[in-house]
Chain A
Amino acid sequence: MSISFHSCIRRPLKAMDDWRSWPDFTPKDLKFLDRQTALLYLTTHDLLANCPDLDRARSAVHAAVGPARTDPDAMYRWAARIPPDSAEPVTQAQSLPMIQPAGAIGLLPNTPLSWLSIKLGLTGDCGVWAGFEDAGFAALSAARDAISCEAASQALVAAVSSPDNYFVLDGFKRGFHSPICAPVEIGVALHLRCTNSASGDVSPRINALAAFPSGTSVETVLDIITKQSLCDLHENSASQKTLLLTPLNPQNAIIDGIDGRADLSGRIGASMPAALPLAISFAGQCVFGKNPVAIIIAAPFGSIYAAVVTPAPLLSVDPKSWPAPLSMVSEVTSANASCSGNKQ
């Protein structure tokens, strides 16, 4: 099965005011939102603006997010019996400080997906995948399998990297990620559809998507995704790119096994759950050229994820060897203006 897609990338929120003024949210809603949820929502909203014919009841939605937005400071204050509006603890004789409903709901790791569903009217198949780079692959593969098993006609993958969270930064302190790859805040949304070569669909395609056990060699990964994608990814490297994203220390990562290939995370930072969707989106937009691109990610704990993307041949984007630094990427970029994908 070949999957065509179009995508939307959204840069970091400049300030919380960016979304506080968003018309879909009431002041009461805003109490429940955090930056991760807001960015995921805005990215998906922008993508759907270009998908007027998307069936919101029959499309699967799989989100890739960071750890739950548990607030350690709030937990500490509560355990120490310090009310939210005070610096002093209450006495033992008094009741515990209340946890505001927003704080309780913020504990739920599915809150970002819940808001997507509520505000965008999405009622189809679903899942929310949490963690680091693994989450992006999990969301993509679950979306693909939902289409493959005919549980959904189309699928949305919404992924967000939002480092404003204690538990994300804690992962960096513990060495899950290379210290040279700072975490970045970015949202990516992909709209996936089943396609075939006879359909006239000229959207970019995901030709292969696979996971590999830790320790798998890069050559083995390339062998397998070459067979899956029917694209030659070994030779003629001048005409194609292999894109590597590795959050690990480069000395231990598979990047050492590759000559003359690109390390995206070294250029833009660690985009964590958004890493694989972001690389697929960039590849689809011809950022790495117009030939098939192999993407390989070495995630924390060694799992390896790979995809092959064929860029859209008719996209008018000039090929670039590298993505621009994120500070130069426009606020919102959209790969395709139309959901139909058929430009003929």
Chain B
Amino acid sequence: MTRRRRVLITGCGIITAAATGMEAFFDALAAGRSGLGLIQRFDTSCLATRVGGEVDIERLSPPPPLFSSQIWNRPRDTKAFLAWEALRQIIATPGLSPETALISTVGLERIDLDALIAATAAAEATPGAPPPEPICPEIPLTQLPGLLWRAAGFTGPISIQAAACAAGTIALGTAFRAIRAGSCDRIVAGGVDSLIFPYGIHAFNSIGALSERNEIGARALAPFDLKRSGTLLGEGAAYFLLEEEAAARARCAPILAEVAGYGASMDAHHCVIPDPTGRGAAAAMRAALADARLTPDSIGYINAHGTGTPHNDAMESRAIFDVFGEYAAMLPVSSIKPFVGHLLTAAGAVEAAASLLPFARGLLPPTLHFENPDPACKLDVIPNVAREGRPQYVMTNSYGLGGQNASLILSAPASLTGLMGGR
């Protein structure tokens, strides 16, 4: 068996509604402290869903001016603030070379509706003025992570992964493969997203994805619970520094985990509804296990996609049983979405960060608001309080609307010495 290049996680920057920074994020997970609440940024009275995982943008450092151009200057979009905060935590890493590449998610494009409506009102108040065009006062969001990366002084290539809610995990998996294959030694990978704006929330209401139980606040998001009624949206960002082992050791980098395996698949089923059989999700988990050269019983914890929608959680449970068999009933599983909301393209990156909690603190994150077990989800769901546990390997799953699936397996840093001459 050939020896493969090993890929280590040596840094992570994160911001969510629950916490900013890795230690604070771990504290929130350990304490069971959710960041969800009534959305304050705008008037939600006309929306069916009024609860989400909102970050207080006002307290964040503003992103730097981007791309010296007469057309724009300092970005105002929420995603710019979130991405910059998470990247800022990473780029402070000593020894990070300026040629480092970036793989990021960013989510959908949007226009500044407030600016547009204000412009419309102003035009209407001026007799004879032409109606304004729908304009994009902001930077096209597909370009945002790249511009931030350049503004931070990095010259490396930039890639934008856009596979919806699986994108964050695919970004990490792609970075892992690129380093393992020898294409490069060091990549920053992760994602940013926010759908906390009226059109975004209303769009997800229109496809029936969101809970409308505003009266119970954050408790409306209850993955794997019998009474789950849909997901709630969040916003945030997480970026990881992935390095080839020798490159990491050369700069004496702290090792948070090793990326042991990655797998992805597609449902080929429906543009919104997941394949109820769970075949696609199971294929991604099997591919990750095969890539890591592990048997299913090697996995000690699964960070589930766990959106809290009836379709997803039943499908994911079925897929886990399909892959893990009887062992699934004793395999601890949790979803951290009740802490931060559904971060869409950034979900995979934020949930990979949560998957480091067992390695850092010896705790498995809980599933908040889990009270009524669902016979369709007969998993060992960790309810409400973090559970002690130090698994050697953890798996994190992400499933995109449209049928893209991705699974990543992370290994505890303590296992690194034993693996030196192994895989």
Please, which residues of chain A bring their CB within 8 A of the CB of B403? 114, 117-118
- The minimal Cβ–Cβ distance linking A117 to chain B, given in whole angstroms, is 4
Compute how far the CA of A144 lies from the CA of B198 in the bound complex, rounded to whole angstroms: 40
Contact A176/B143 with A80-B120, A109-B164 known, Cβ cut-off 8 Å? yes
Q: Cβ of A184 < 8 Å from any Cβ of B? A: no
CB-based contact B162/A141 at 8 Å: no
A211 touches B157 (CB 8 A): yes
Chain B residues whose CB sits within 8 angstroms of the CB of A100 once the complex forms: 206
Q: CA separation between A149 and B6, bound complex, in Å? A: 12
Residue in A103, A126, A170, A174 whose CB lies within 8 Å of B170? A126
Q: Decide yes or no whether B123 CB sits under 8 A from chain A.
A: no
Residue of B nearest to A76 (CB): B134
Supposing A101-B206, A122-B268, A174-B69 touch, asked if A141 and B404 sit within 8 A by C-beta, the answer is no
Q: In the complex, which of the residues B103, B163, B199, B279 contacts A110, with contact meaning CB atoms closer than 8 Å? A: B163
- Residue pair B206, A107 in contact (C-beta under 8 Å): no
Contact A126:B69 (CB < 8 A) given known A67-B109, A117-B403, A141-B178: no
Chain B positions within 8 Å of A107 at CB level:
108, 200, 203
Q: Would B177 and A302 count as touching, CB distance under 8 A?
A: no
Q: Which residues does chain B contribute within 8 Å of A68, judged by CB atoms?
A: 107-109, 142, 162
* Inter-chain contact B143/A72, CB cutoff 8 Å: no
Give the one of A72, A117, A127, A148 with max B CB within 10 A. A127
Residues of B bordering A, CB below 8 Å: 46-47, 67, 69, 71-72, 98-99, 101, 103, 106-111, 113, 116-117, 120, 134, 136, 139-143, 146-147, 150, 155-164, 167, 170, 174, 177-178, 180-181, 183, 198-200, 202-204, 206-207, 262-272, 279-280, 283, 287, 291, 345, 400-404
A131 — which chain B residues lie within 8 A by C-beta? 142-143, 146, 158-160
Per-residue contact bits, chain A 118-153, to B (CB 8 Å; 1 contact, 0 not): 101111111111111011011001101110110100
Query: Is the CB–CB distance between A128 and B206 below 8 Å?
Result: no
Q: A96-B46, A109-B164, A114-B403 are in contact. Are A78 and B143 (CB under 8 A)?
A: no
Whether A75 contacts B111 by the Cβ 8 Å rule is yes
Q: Given known contacts A70-B109, A105-B272, what 7 new A-B pairs fall within 8 Å (CB)?
A: A61-B266, A80-B120, A109-B162, A118-B403, A123-B279, A146-B177, A170-B140
Residue A30 CB within 8 A of the other chain:
no
User: Nearest CB to that of B70 among chain A residues?
Assistant: A175
Asked, given contacts A79-B199, A126-B404, A141-B178, whether A95 binds B46 with beta carbons under 8 Å apart, the answer is yes
- Residue in A65, A105, A113 whose beta carbon sits within 8 Å of that of B404 in the complex: A113
What 9 A-B pairs come out closest when comparing CB atoms? A114-B402, A213-B155, A138-B159, A109-B162, A72-B134, A211-B157, A130-B162, A117-B266, A104-B203
Closest CB in chain A relative to B212 CB, distance in Å: 13
List A contacts of B117 (CB < 8 A).
79-80
Q: Complex formed: what's the CA distance from A168 to B348 in Å?
A: 27
A119 to B, closest residue via Cβ: B268
How many Å lie between the Cα of A70 and that of B113 in the bound state?
13
Residues on A with C-beta less than 8 A from B155 are: 213-215, 302
Is A126 touching B157 in the complex (CB atoms < 8 A)?
no
- Which listed residue (A104, A124, A144, A305) contacts B206, Cβ 8 A? A104
Q: Are B108 and A123 in contact (CB under 8 A)?
A: no
Say if the beta carbon of A111 comes within 8 Å of chain B.
Answer: yes
Tell me the bound Cα distance from A37 to B269 in angstroms. 17
Once the chains bind, are A96 and B202 in contact (CB under 8 Å)?
yes
15 residue pairs from A and B, CB less than 8 Å apart: A67-B140, A70-B111, A76-B113, A79-B198, A107-B203, A113-B163, A114-B402, A114-B403, A114-B404, A117-B404, A118-B269, A123-B283, A144-B181, A174-B71, A212-B157
In the bound assembly, the distance between CA atoms of A117 and B140 in angstroms comes to: 27
Task: Give the chain A neighbours of B107 by CB distance below 8 A.
Answer: 68, 109
In the complex, the answer to whether B181 meets A167 with C-beta atoms within 8 Å is no
User: CA–CA, A75 to B161, complex, Å?
Assistant: 24
Chain A residue, CB-CB nearest to B176: A149
B198 touches A134 (CB 8 A): no
**Given known A-B contacts A75-B113, A174-B72, A301-B147, A124 and B266 have beta carbons under 8 A apart:** yes
